[in-house]
Amino acid sequence: MAAADSPFTALRHDLCSRGIRLAGKMRADVINLLDAYVEQQGLDASSSVAAVEGVPLAAVERWDEQTGTQRLLENLAAYRAFRALLAQMLEEQQEQLGEADMGLGRALAAVLLQVSAFTYHLEELLRLESCGIPGEEGDGTPPPPCLSLFEQKLRGLGVLRELAQWAVRSMRDLRQLAKPGLPTGAAPGLAESP
Amino acid sequence: ESHIQYERVGADVTMKCGSMDWDAAVTWTANGTDIDESHLNGSYLILKNVDLSHSGQYSCYEGSSWHLKYLTYLRVGTPPKEPVLMCRSNNYPKGFYCSWHLPTPTYIPNSFNISVIHGTKDMVCEKDAVPKNRCHIRYLQLFSTVKYKVTLTVTNALGKNFTTLTFDEFAIVKPDPPESVVAKPVPNNPRRLEVSWQNPSSWPDPESFPLKFFLRYRPLILDQWQHVELSDGTSHTITDAYAGKEYIIQVAAKDNDIGTWSDWSVAVHATPWTEEPKHLTTEAQITETTSASTSSFMAPPTTKICDKGAVVGSGAMAVCWTAGLVVAAYSVLFI
């Protein structure tokens, strides 16, 4: 176990802190994008969207029991998937609306950039932890199904909602990871209050 | 034999004397007091347009023997109105609780049933012993986009009603207010107040789920609050307090990323440090005593006839005495 003030711990803490800030900014932008998306796509913000194939769900059981490695790997898989999904959404957006709605397209592109940056950041953390970085071939999204325009819009809503949840989960995951004296393979667990 | 009979306010009530025939001779009492025969229809007791005061024990006696035949406990009340339901997580990420009450009393016993559904999954809301109108749920999942649906049904003998709340995991997160708020003056700083507080004890893991804080303060003499938002730490120094004015200070908390602000903490009061007024020296006090007996002329307290700190040696002492004599002489002139 690395000492609390070792260079490794300091670097991990620094990477985690930066990651938390990245995720926080990403979340804020995704929420703004969600509002714009709902309005411009003519959707109802309160619509329930069933889980869509290929969209990584942020929901997790026994979150407090996960090891640091599990957290990083699940985050990485999720953001790689979001990267592909957002690229798809951007393409669909441009096909549907062309030049008519560049604002939404730009906002989508900006979030895609942040997701790419965060993905890279997670890879950095995994390298630091000397964990092998899984190749991307295994977790690429399936080919886009043939969806109607409305189904595409609902899918997009689902993507953005889950991405917003993932951003919060990532902040929490990185805070767990940044806890001093915690090896990546250990599960911190929450202290039970009386 | 006996039974409880529930009736609505305003209803016309008929009470039978158990299995006695309609034409049996009976006597009725209400809480031990005889009821006039005008309220009887045969052996049935008729009460029209009942109100809450009609609630009580109604006894029916066989006419001649005064043998108690039947006891009816009449409870007049109302069916329940739509209950008020609230759900909140003050101990995220452990779980949340829901609490409820009726907007108006029914005056008869009510039973509450709560159901919680998360997606397609039924969840058990464990009832708290105290208070009785509350139950809590442990989160099985975190970070879910699937909403929770809580339905509360209230039932009594006269009817039922229900209400439903739908919310997502993040929306109901609201910590308890910060605890142990303390505000102290800062020595030698007339415009500062040091404020400190603690995380609410109900918040289980502030390290992984840090809170941010909102501090508000104002002098008692003004209505407008000053606000400061603090993203970390559990202390803050106010640097723009009005000198000498008593302040009221409160703090609120919120999860750093989700949910809503807590209620304000208990208010604390503090006054910034002020310099002690300098007391006159012994010589000056004598001078003051002398002049006070002859006139109302007094040197103002800020006037340093003899600076206590500067009085060293007999030379300075002589200056003080001289000043005292001059003041005394001057005072006499004003008689």
The hierarchical CATH code for the domain B179-270 is: 2.60.40.10
Please check the confidence at residue B312 and state whether its pLDDT lies above 50. Answer: no
DSSP track, B234-278: SEEEE--PPTT--EEEEEEEEESSSS-PPPPPPPEEE----PPPP
Smallest CA–CA distance, residue A93 to chain B, in Å, is 24
CATH for the B84-167 domain, from 2.120.10.30, 3.40.50.970, 2.60.40.10, 1.20.1250.20: 2.60.40.10
CA diameter of chain A: 59
Q: What is the mean pLDDT of residues B129-144?
A: 93
- Asked if A193 lies within 8 A of B204 by C-beta distance, the reply is yes
Higher-scoring residue by pLDDT: B299, B207: B207
Say how many CA atoms lie within 13 Å of B23 toward its Cβ: 0
Residue at A37: amino acid letter? Y
- Characterize A7-23 residue by residue with b for buried, 16 or more Cβ atoms within 10 angstroms of its Cβ, and e for exposed: eebeebbebbeebbebb
Handedness of CA B323, B328, B330, B331 (dihedral sign): positive
Q: What is the ipTM of this complex?
A: 0.86
Q: Would you give the DSSP letter of residue A135?
A: P
Residue of A nearest to B166 (CA): A46
Local confidence band at B300 (pLDDT 50, 70, 90 cut-offs): very low
Chain B environment of A66 (Cβ under 8 Å): none
Rounded percentage of chain A residues whose pLDDT exceeds 90: 50
In tens, the pLDDT along B51-107 reads 999 999 999 998 777 788 899 999 999 999 999 999 999 999 999 999 999 999 999
pLDDT at B295: 42
Chain A environment of B258 (Cβ under 8 Å): 168
pLDDT at B37: 84
Chain B environment of A176 (Cβ under 8 Å): 208
- In the sheet with B111-118, reading across from the earlier edge strand, the strands are B121-123, B111-118, B148-156, B159-167
Name residue B96's beta-bridge partners: B137
Distance CA B232, CA B276 (A): 35
pLDDT at A5: 63
- B14-18, B107-111, B163-167: which range is least confident on average? B14-18
Distances in Å between the alpha carbon of A187 and those of B193, B207, B219?
42, 15, 49
- Asked if A63 lies within 8 A of B205 by C-beta distance, the reply is no
Smallest CA–CA distance, residue A100 to chain B, in Å, is 31
- Residue A95 contacts B where some CB pair is shorter than 8 Å: no
- Residue A175 contacts B where some CB pair is shorter than 8 Å: yes
Chain B environment of A166 (Cβ under 8 Å): 143
Say how many CA atoms lie within 13 Å of B304 toward its Cβ: 9
In tens, the pLDDT along B229-253 reads 999 899 999 999 999 999 999 999 9
- Residue A59 contacts B where some CB pair is shorter than 8 Å: yes
How far is C-alpha B87 from the chain's CA centre? Answer: 18
In tens, the pLDDT along A130-186 reads 767 777 755 455 555 677 888 888 889 999 999 999 999 999 999 999 987 665 665
Structure tokens at B305: 């006839």
pLDDT at B38: 87
CATH classification (class only), B3-77: mainly beta
- Asked if B93 lies within 8 A of A190 by C-beta distance, the reply is yes
Q: Would you give the DSSP letter of residue B152?
A: E
Q: How many CB pairs under 8 A join A and B?
A: 59
* B140, B207, B208: residue with CB nearest A61: B140
Q: Please name the residue ranges forming H helices in A41-182.
A: 68-97, 102-128, 149-177
Residue of A nearest to B205 (CA): A190
In tens, the pLDDT along B165-188 reads 999 999 999 999 999 999 999 999
In tens, the pLDDT along A91-119 reads 888 777 665 567 888 899 999 999 999 99
Q: Where are the domains of chain B?
A: 3-77, 84-167, 179-270
Chain A environment of B140 (Cβ under 8 Å): 61
pLDDT at B109: 96
Average pLDDT taken over every residue of chain B: 86
DSSP track, A172-187: HHHHHHTSTT--TTS-
The answer to whether B3-77 and B84-167 have equal CATH topology is: yes
- Asked if A59 lies within 8 A of B146 by C-beta distance, the reply is yes
- Asked if A190 lies within 8 A of B94 by C-beta distance, the reply is yes
Local confidence band at A78 (pLDDT 50, 70, 90 cut-offs): very high
Distances in Å between the alpha carbon of A186 and those of A3, A7, A65, A130, A192?
15, 20, 9, 15, 17
Looking up tokens 């942020």, which residue turns up? A58
Which of A16, A47, A155, A168 has the highest number of chain B CBs within 10 A, making it the mutation to test binding with B? A168
- Residue A148 contacts B where some CB pair is shorter than 8 Å: no
Tell me the domains of chain A and their CATH numbers: 11-43+66-132+149-176 (1.20.1250.10)
Chain B environment of A30 (Cβ under 8 Å): none
Q: What is the mean pLDDT of residues B300-322?
A: 39
Please check the confidence at residue B309 and state whether its pLDDT lies above 50. Answer: no
In tens, the pLDDT along A53-66 reads 789 999 999 999 99
Distance CA A75, CA A122 (A): 8
Chain A environment of B207 (Cβ under 8 Å): 175, 179
